[in-house]
Amino acid sequence: MFTRGRYMDTSLANLCDVAMNVAQRKACPLTTDSSVGHHQLKIIVPDLIVSVNILGIAVTSIFISINARRCSKPLGLKSRMIFSRQLSASSERDSRHSARHGRLDGNSAWCSARSSFAKYFQIDFGRTVEVTSVATQGHPREEKWIQRYILRYSLGKNWFTYQASGRDKVFKGNRDGRSAVRHYLKERLVAKKLRIVRHENSRDFMGSTVCLRAEVYGCSFDTECLTFGSEVFAHWNSIKKHTRYIHGYVTKVHRTSVHISPSGKHGGNADSIFELPRKKEFYVIKDEKSSPQEIKIGSDVIVASKDNVGFSQGKVTQKYYSWYGVELGNGKTVWGKVDEIRLLKRPIYCEKEYITA
């Protein structure tokens, strides 16, 4: 995409902000790489190349080339890479308007049943993804659509409402059945499941059916450091020197603490979000499988508990073919294969990814 605009008397200090606004980005990045030519200033920032023509000290025009975003691919609704079994909804009007029809540019649409209850369309990505934008349409042949909506997302057992600037973000939806409206997200959204929820104060078709077709854009989520959305094992409890960990996802990172949402994987009976201190270096461990070469006699590890209650902390003391004997803090030994063991590694948090407490 190429956008050309004219901004008279724009100060150089504001150029980066202008570029970000045109690109629908939240704000200027912390660092930029700038070079100055004879009559032209080039600002190179992530995904953008901004060329500025200067006459004297006045800015006469700005040319902004927006590179293809690294994380903006359709995630598979329209292309059917997301299967029908991964789509669900709060209710369905009939089989011709079930959740599997809620795909952008489709011949039909998902339509809710007639009710005053919350209406939503749900996508299970089957993996952890980063969502960067969402596009919606109404019904292609009926005057039915959603005028306003919010986004709800889940990483584990808990659901969250997408926020911008500390408040629940309400998106403007559609005004007709055919036009697609796409919104770019300013704040990071990492999810395994996503709901497009009709806003409760929306005035469209009160108590009646609403219809939706959608596409979600983004990319697979994968990062070496710990940040929002990372899969981890978190310290759960210690009883008589027996320390247990449960699987979950990072939902917030503060300067001194990290919030974990339990996933329900590998057992564990936690349901609500809990907070752990960052200064305890092994309280949060990235869920990262190790190779057999990395697991040695004497390695500090966590191993899947045989009672299906999370993972237990211990030390590798024995090896028998592909099995490892792990001695727990209470003196008991648990045997596990390599995919049931995680090395205790000091977590590395992504720089400048924390929020203030």
pLDDT (tens digit per residue) in 23-69: 444 444 433 334 444 344 444 444 444 444 444 444 444 444 333 35
Tokens of 129: 């993804």
Task: Please tell me what DSSP assigns to residue 338.
Answer: G
pTM of the entire structure?
0.72
Q: If we measure between CA atoms, which residue out of 192, 126, 187 comes closest to residue 159?
A: 192
Name the band, by pLDDT with cuts 50, 70 and 90, for residue 269.
low
Report the range of poorest mean pLDDT among 65-74, 85-94, 206-215, 307-316.
65-74
Structural domain boundaries of the chain? 10-66, 73-220, 230-343
At residue 267 the predicted structure's pLDDT band, cuts being 50, 70 and 90, is low
Total Cβ atoms within 10 A of residue 169:
17
Q: Which H, E and C letters describe 66-121, residue by residue?
A: ECCCCCCEECCCCCCCCCHHHEEECCCCCHHHCHHHCECCCCCCEECCCCCCCCEE
Architecture of domain 73-220: Sandwich (2.60)
Confirm if 207 and 223 have CB atoms less than 8 A apart: no
Reported as a single tens digit per residue, the pLDDT across 299-309 is 999 999 877 67
Alpha helix (H) residue ranges in the chain = 15-22
